[in-house]
Chains A and B, each alone.
Chain A
Amino acid sequence: DAEITQSPRHKITETGRQVTLACHQTWNHNNMFWYRQDLGHGLRLIHYSYGVQDTNKGEVSDGYSVSRSNTEDLPLTLESAASSQTSVYFCASRRTMNTEAFFGQGTRLTVV
């Protein structure tokens, strides 16, 4: 079955380190998204992509970057991890803008 997977599921890193969270989907969806979820804020959009070589900033993009070198993957990089980036991160994909989005299981990141 097609799916969307995130890795790692849990990560602890130190302040100032570069961290990359992986997201891989096998639906061949063009549209992919990264969200973070914090108590009291729901899910907030970090970056999104409409296809290969396309990336766009979302609501809370500062300190994050993404790249889209193929359809299946949208890795999220924290350039210099900060304690404020401790959160649960979700990746999602959808076939078109009018269809449902499928979410990964999430990555819990702790920056110490």
Chain B
Amino acid sequence: DAKTTQPTSMDCAEGRAANLPCNHSTISGNEYVYWYRQIHSQGPQYIIHGLKNNETNEMASLIITEDRKSSTLILPHATLRDTAVYYCIVRPENTGNQFYFGTGTSLTVIP
């Protein structure tokens, strides 16, 4: 798997956009970028994934740079319930058995 690098922690004011960066400079052409989050004491929750194009769903937007070496997860209007550890994972298509979650970014949404 391509290695990913994320900041250890971030704060965001409630109601503002939370922008969580991820570097994956060794990503290869067939590797997808996945984002999951884990709220304290719960199982990981899928957020979004993409290959090349920017993606948006009801939870978040994923912006992938043109060279695909980095991406940003955007939570458009962060709420207190978005406080969690966010994991960026790079996985090749059709080899999705083993997710290496790393240590992720601990996002704290501040009232």
Partner of A90, one of B44, B46, B103: B44
Q: Report A66-107 residues with CB < 8 Å from chain B CB.
A: 90, 92, 94, 97-98, 100-106
Q: A40-B103, A42-B103, A100-B49 are in contact. Are A33 and B43 (CB under 8 A)?
A: no
Residues of chain B at interface, number, CB under 8 A: 22
Q: Is there an interface contact between A59 and B98, defined as CB atoms closer than 8 Å? A: yes
Q: Chain A: interface residue count, which band?
A: 20 to 34
Query: Which of chain A's residues have a CB closer than 8 A to the CB of B41?
Result: 106
Closest partner residue, chain A, to B102 (CB atom): A42
A112 within 8 A of B: no
A43 within 8 A of B: yes
Q: Is there an interface contact between B101 and A42, defined as CB atoms closer than 8 Å? A: yes
- A residues in contact (CB < 8 Å) with B: 31, 33, 35, 40, 42-43, 45, 48, 56, 58-59, 90, 92, 94, 97-98, 100-106
